[in-house]
Structure 1
């Protein structure tokens, strides 16, 4: 988000950090923020009213408090009311920002409990499972199935096997906000990395890396990029040998298959 929306998001993130730094439960904050985002996404008239640039900030904050006051915890209500009183370039930016803030709160809660790495690993693993399992992908994208049914399926798959933060975000991913489950999980993974102030590297290898190899690679990439790096590893037999690394738009392809393809192109050229 740019302009007024970008400034509002930055301020909201600062406020969230202060609230969590004061000891608030990140998971509870996240639940409330995601619930408010869902209401504002569905209720178009309300969303437009609390983002109307011609209305005073105090009035918009007051409206948000009157609507959500009996449903949200005081700290969440303060965040939502503050967001409603901020300036937004588009009315749709508000629920999007609240959703992102909710995901960030859940991530920060998991991180403070020592489960930040686990959360990132499990989000990636669940995303891969959806991509690689056509039946699961179809079940979670079937428009004939209700969101509650899809969330029940996610809970059956992950409850007791994944961190509670992972289950919460996986359940949120099937609501359809981002079009597909995989797109939602990718967005949540990016938000998690940003909240933890690190980069995410997708690493493709022919066979699984050892713990020592993963640690050394993460350290090397972190030194190169001057930021901590979290590895998401994909075992892909087509790599043949070597390694393929993606960090955002930056790609390093040292695989044998890439060198063979390059040789073929040179011969063909």
Structure 2
């Protein structure tokens, strides 16, 4: 997905973010259900991605499709997706799949659990404990990985899951038996991959869900580069400051990088805060170059 479709998905995920703290698996399942309806109708996909139709018209079409079948929250999310611009007919389905999976992943993120102690980064150390967000996401990713490992280790299981004569219910039941200890979020995503793999291998779709979970984990990890090792007091102040800035308890990986000369560089997910001397010198050079 690229161009206008990528921009529409980015906007949708940004708008979704405020709903994720209270998201539910029921919402994810509703969105996956709408995805099934969209995937089953080429005419509907063309209508929802027709550049000559207004966003309001496409949103109204979706409202008519889902009226009384899903919650108002799910209807609103799908309506906004429909009102966006898409470069190809398949793109709206891909976006809806990503949004639905993100809701399920956020449910795992929001689960309470024990803190996870960070392993030291290469050349550095870890301090602080990540709150339940990282714990739940790591468990989800492990559950998905365990499922794929089990499937890929057995040709018999692969054949059974691909058997065209078997019902979705039978294949789903088999898939869930492979990971009896998996959490509800993993079970939801595995079930979706079985019922609607959307033209790819089940394990490939599970890999995609795993990548989404791994990306979300990065929101809970601060990779901090410093010119020299921090004292315990400095580390505590840094931990408190970053927790306050991001509104959650981050796992901090500190990396000693003498090339920074001084200051600190922090990366949390895709966001970088650079207060190093080398960065300021680089900015000065750009200003002088004019």
Question: TM-score by structure 2 length?
Answer: 0.66
Residue of structure 2 in register with 1:81 after alignment: 79
Residue of structure 2 in register with 1:65 after alignment: 63
Equivalent residue runs for 1:228-247 within 5 Å: none
Per-residue CA shift, 1:216-240, capped at 9, x if unaligned?
xx98799999568xxxxxxxxxxxx
Per-residue CA shift, 1:64-111, capped at 9, x if unaligned?
011112111111110000000100001110011100111111001111
Residue of structure 2 in register with 1:153 after alignment: 174
Q: Which one has a bigger Cα radius of gyration?
A: 2
2:207 aligns with one of 174, 179, 186: 186
Residue of structure 1 in register with 2:109 after alignment: 111
Gaps in structure 1 of 5+ consecutive residues: 200-217, 229-269
Gaps in structure 2 of 5+ consecutive residues: 112-131, 221-250, 258-265, 270-290
Asked if the contact 2:137/2:214 (under 8 Å) is kept, the reply is no
In structure 2, the CA distance between the partners of 1:57 and 1:149, relative to structure 1 (3 Å rule), is same
Following the alignment from structure 1 to structure 2, what is the Cα–Cα distance between the partners of residues 157 and 124? 12
Residue of structure 1 in register with 2:128 after alignment: none
Asked if the contact 1:122/1:162 (under 8 Å) is kept, the reply is yes
In structure 2, the CA distance between the partners of 1:221 and 1:44, relative to structure 1 (3 Å rule), is farther
Residue of structure 1 in register with 2:19 after alignment: 19
The CA deviation at 1:34 is: 1.1
Residue of structure 2 in register with 1:29 after alignment: 27
2:190 aligns with one of 153, 170, 178: 170
Question: TM-score by structure 1 length?
Answer: 0.70
Per-residue CA shift, 1:184-243, capped at 9, x if unaligned?
1111111111233369xxxxxxxxxxxxxxxxxx98799999568xxxxxxxxxxxxxxx
Following the alignment from structure 1 to structure 2, what is the Cα–Cα distance between the partners of residues 123 and 64? 32
SS of the residue corresponding to residue 92 of structure 1 reads helix
Equivalent residue runs for 1:116-131 within 5 Å: 116-131=137-152
Asked if the contact 1:108/1:196 (under 8 Å) is kept, the reply is no
Following the alignment from structure 2 to structure 1, what is the Cα–Cα distance between the partners of residues 168 and 12? 29
